[in-house]
Amino acid sequence: MQVPAKFEYERADSVPHAIELLERYGPDARIVAGGHSLIPMMKLRLAQPEALIDINGLAELGRIAVEGDELAIGALVRHAELLDSTTATNLFPIFRDAERVIADPIVRNRGTVGGSLCQGDPSEDLSAVFSALRATAVIQGPGGTRTVPLREFHRGPYETAVAENELLIQLRVPIAPGTGSAYEKVERRVGDWPVAATGAVITVRDGVIAQAGIGLTAVGAEHFCAPEAEEFLRGKAPGEETFAEAARIAAEHCEPHADQRGPADFKRHLAGELTKRALTRANLNVAGSATDPNVAGSATDPNVAGSATEGRI
């Protein structure tokens, strides 16, 4: 029987209360929300916090809303809630693509957006998604809130910018007209970590790519992104050859490691291929472009924004 070691348990009734508890218990306290990374680690003694601070009661951290020109996603939003949020998935189909393949539906009922990011696993999907989206993390501590670009959030494997007495409270995603997004993942089976996965976000203005975001996970890309490939795309017209070259640059940027999920060259190949596919699909769901007869796929593709997924669980 796997059971965690003993710990003190505290329930936070507000964000300031959670921070006060973090300060009281010090570095050996951990925040718990969904618990689907932390509790298994505690069973295996990979984590042995002296205190758990439960933030599941903080409803104010569970909201998804458009605020000005940003989409705000609370840290306590469950994966299943993000998948179900048409506000989020209509603006950014990348959320639907990614959330459908994160863990499994029952784990998604419990696991949270903030927890996934704070776990800081180098194979985590949402880290690549929010990196591609150039999101900002809002972190609250004893002195108030501060913001950190998602691309500076991860300091290394399992290390983040969140200090011991701070709490990640929200992610903010910039909304720009003419933006399309998609996520592509190869996994061995439902619920597994990716062998490799790529997220692509492009903003097209006047027929050229004004900004591109490429997120990569499980392939050793620093900060979960591919800046050289993004730079290559800027100012170019979207198209097959351009995407193929960006994918090649992104694959080169990766430093995958061989493990039970496959050899390094296979993962590098996947990184390139998935980048190409994600860019192609992102381009298809750029607002207004899906009706372009010159674009392959078209709006009848069930994977493209806005169709055929209502009612799924």
Partner 1 sequence: MRITVTVNGQPHTREVEPRLLLVHFLRDELSLTGTHWGCDTSNCGVCTVQLDGVPVKSCTVLAVMADGHEVTTVEGLERDGELDAVQKGFVECHGLQCGFCTPGMLLTARALLDRVPDPDEGQIREAISGQLCRCTGYENIVRSIRWAAEASQKVAESEARQ
Contacts to partner 1 by CB under 8 A: 1-9, 32, 35-36, 39-40, 43, 52, 54, 56, 80, 103-107, 109-110, 190-191, 311-313
Report which DSSP code applies to 82: H
Cβ 60 to partner 1 shortest distance, Å: 18
Token pair, residue 254, equals 């990766």
Q: Are strands 51-54 and 8-11 parallel, antiparallel or unpaired?
A: parallel
CB 131 within 8 A of CB 213: yes
Cβ 1 to partner 1 shortest distance, Å: 7
CB 218 within 8 A of CB 231: no
State the amino acid at position 62 in one-letter form: G
Report which DSSP code applies to 225: B
Cβ 205 to partner 1 shortest distance, Å: 37
Q: Which is nearer to partner 1, 59 or 313 (CB)?
A: 313
Q: Which helix (H) or strand (E) holds 148?
A: strand 144-149
Q: Which is nearer to partner 1, 234 or 312 (CB)?
A: 312
Cβ 295 to partner 1 shortest distance, Å: 27
Q: Which is nearer to partner 1, 51 or 264 (CB)?
A: 51
Beta strands in 165-278 (DSSP E): 167-174, 179-187, 194-205, 208-217
Cβ 11 to partner 1 shortest distance, Å: 8
Nearest to 197 by CA among 132, 252, 286: 132
CA distances from 230 to 70, 172, 179, 248, 309 (A): 21, 21, 14, 12, 30
Measured distance CA(231)–CA(5) in Å, rounded: 48
Q: Which is nearer to partner 1, 53 or 219 (CB)?
A: 53
Cβ 35 to partner 1 shortest distance, Å: 6
Q: Which is nearer to partner 1, 50 or 70 (CB)?
A: 50
Cβ 86 to partner 1 shortest distance, Å: 15
Q: Which is nearer to partner 1, 3 or 59 (CB)?
A: 3
Measured distance CA(75)–CA(82) in Å, rounded: 11
Q: Which is nearer to partner 1, 38 or 251 (CB)?
A: 38
